[in-house]
Chains A and B, each alone.
Chain A
């Protein structure tokens, strides 16, 4: 039995905001299936009582003083934007037709 179906890959692509073609979905379904089967080996390590590590170092929250500092100018911040209008990022519509 495969670890992941083509429908699941299509769902993952939607969640990942990747508009994939049918051919790509077929291709990734086969590859992800093989990769997931292989990485499932992590289950072989007996680790029920072991705490998870999200990080290598024992760092907790790091704070700094809340002081005003120099930041990017509007021109600098907008310099790489795909589209700009009135000193703002211009974006495609964010609400559906029905909204």
Chain B
């Protein structure tokens, strides 16, 4: 089997055993990228020489006898919202075109320490605002299953790169579903860790109380290995949790759900959900029952107001966070002709540098925070956030994990929702509650929808710091389905 089809765990073992070098593995992936990138366009920045330099350095460290982690030498695609000293960082925005950050994000630094080799920076919706990657200021990324469809978003470059075998692993960030939804629609695994479990330092901020870095992989164990490699307490992030990382790798290696209590969220089904998505979802629930789990229905009535609450909270935080793009210290500056004031230059730069969705959210947030509206909008949304967190707590009194479809439909056609923000927002209907409550949640592939032969994902939600439960249940589903299918779901994707 060619190197690009191997799992990250296999590649890590082969490199550690000296069967193959990190350079050879990087070259195989760079060659694959050269072959399929014209079709998929998952990356914003690729620099073969910088990548090979990292791989040579890992090989040298291993030859010198340095003990690195299980992913040493394994290539990874890195979402272009994490700062990287040696590569541009744009957040897919024109306002940061060509910016070279003077420091590495904590996630970037930990990837390097663990010996992962960064293949390039992946495309996203500008500042991670969107569910299709169509809001990138640079180009549209295509779903490897069907090149006329979106790869999800905002981490759509990262999901497409892994699904197209351009990288065995990638990083994402999840503010309202930006890891889980793209994983679901490309047939791979994507995990949103507990908020505060992975560091936000050097992650360009969108909504700081929600933003969470997490892993993408083609299987549950690889996702857990990556999760463990970059997570954990970081003194540079004031909301980082000072507690051990849940034992996610051990959980991924013990796919046993016998006796576990699984809650089916009653509100996440029915009208607005594609029939083929519901069919695969219900089969997955039956599968869990057949594996010995106890399945009960759980009602969380306020989850249906999570979406409107999110579209007040996230834009409010974004309107504040994106004020830093002021054309003074870094990034784009437009209209500085010696006669205009700083304020005029700022307004011209922001108008030229931000795309439509970013402008929309900045203004929506400014509105929700303005006096006279604050109590009715932002204040009320924060109360709804409390109500949702309480419903989760009540549910976790009865069950160990909650399940739902990850997103109501399979990958939608490019262009279909681009001009209809409200339709686009519905893609995150099932994923947002876990962001508001800070919980852990994963998406794992559970089959193809009958209507369109496109991937469907199962979302497994767990309490704060219960990340290991997501991996345990996810691995059980994966093991049972792959033995039924005789391989991974992704092995059924059409050749590119």
Contacts and interface: CB of A to CB of B under 8 A. Distances in A.
Interface of A: 4, 8-9, 12-20, 24, 28, 31-32, 34-36, 38-45, 47, 50-57, 59, 62, 64, 72, 76-77, 79-83, 89, 91-94, 96
Nearest to B208: A55
A36 B364 contact: yes
Given A12-B363, A94-B342, A83 B336 contact: yes
B273 interface: no
Interface of B: 99-103, 195-196, 209-210, 235, 238-239, 241, 302, 305, 308-309, 311-312, 319, 323, 326-333, 336, 338, 340-348, 350-351, 354, 359-360, 362-364, 366-368, 370, 376-377, 379-387, 389, 421-422, 435-439, 464
B354 A56 contact: no
A81 B308 contact: no
A91 B101 CA distance: 20
A91 B359 CA distance: 24
A42 B312 contact: yes
A77 B383 contact: no
A52 B386 contact: yes
Contacts of B370: 12, 15
A93 B342 contact: yes
A70 to B, nearest CB: 11
Given A83-B333, A92-B341, A42 B363 contact: no
Given A31-B421, A52-B386, A92-B342, A20 B351 contact: yes
A42 B102 contact: no
A77 B380 CA distance: 40
Question: Which of A4, A9, A12 is the most central at the interface, judged by chain B CB atoms within 10 Å of its CB?
Answer: A12
A96 B341 contact: yes
A56 B382 CA distance: 10
Contacts, number: 177
18 contacts: A8-B367, A17-B347, A18-B362, A19-B350, A32-B363, A40-B308, A41-B308, A45-B384, A54-B382, A57-B195, A57-B239, A59-B238, A72-B103, A80-B100, A89-B329, A92-B341, A92-B344, A96-B341
Given A55-B239, A80-B330, 7 more contacts: A15-B366, A42-B312, A45-B383, A52-B382, A53-B386, A56-B195, A93-B342
Q: Which 10 A-B pairs have the closest CB atoms?
A: A56-B438, A52-B382, A80-B330, A82-B333, A47-B383, A19-B347, A76-B102, A39-B308, A19-B351, A53-B385
B305 A42 contact: yes
A42 B309 contact: yes
Nearest to A44: B305
Contacts of A62: 238-239
Contacts of A44: 305
B422 A38 contact: yes
B328 A89 contact: yes
Contacts of B435: 56
B363 A50 contact: no
Question: Which of A9, A42, A45, A89 is the most central at the interface, judged by chain B CB atoms within 10 Å of its CB?
Answer: A42
A94 B495 CA distance: 57
Contacts of B103: 72
Given A31-B421, A89-B328, A50 B389 contact: no
A13 B438 contact: no
A28 B348 contact: no
Given A35-B421, A45-B383, A80 B102 contact: yes
Contacts of A45: 302, 305, 380, 383-384, 387
Given A47-B386, A79-B102, A12 B241 contact: no
Nearest to B389: A53
Given A52-B385, A94-B342, A18 B239 contact: no
A76 B330 CA distance: 11
B351 A35 contact: no
Contacts of A57: 195-196, 239, 241, 438, 464
B308 A38 contact: yes
Contacts of A76: 102
B382 A92 contact: no
Contacts of A39: 308-309, 311-312, 368, 377, 381
Given A50-B387, A53-B386, A13 B363 contact: yes
B268 to A, nearest CB: 17
A39 B377 CA distance: 8
A94 B345 CA distance: 10
A13 B196 CA distance: 33
Given A19-B350, A31-B421, A51 B364 contact: no
B327 A82 contact: yes
Contacts of B319: 16
Given A42-B377, A45-B384, A89-B328, A17 B350 contact: yes
Contacts of A41: 305, 308
Contacts of A91: 328, 342
A74 to B, nearest CB: 11
A92 B341 CA distance: 6
Contacts of A35: 311, 360, 364, 421-422
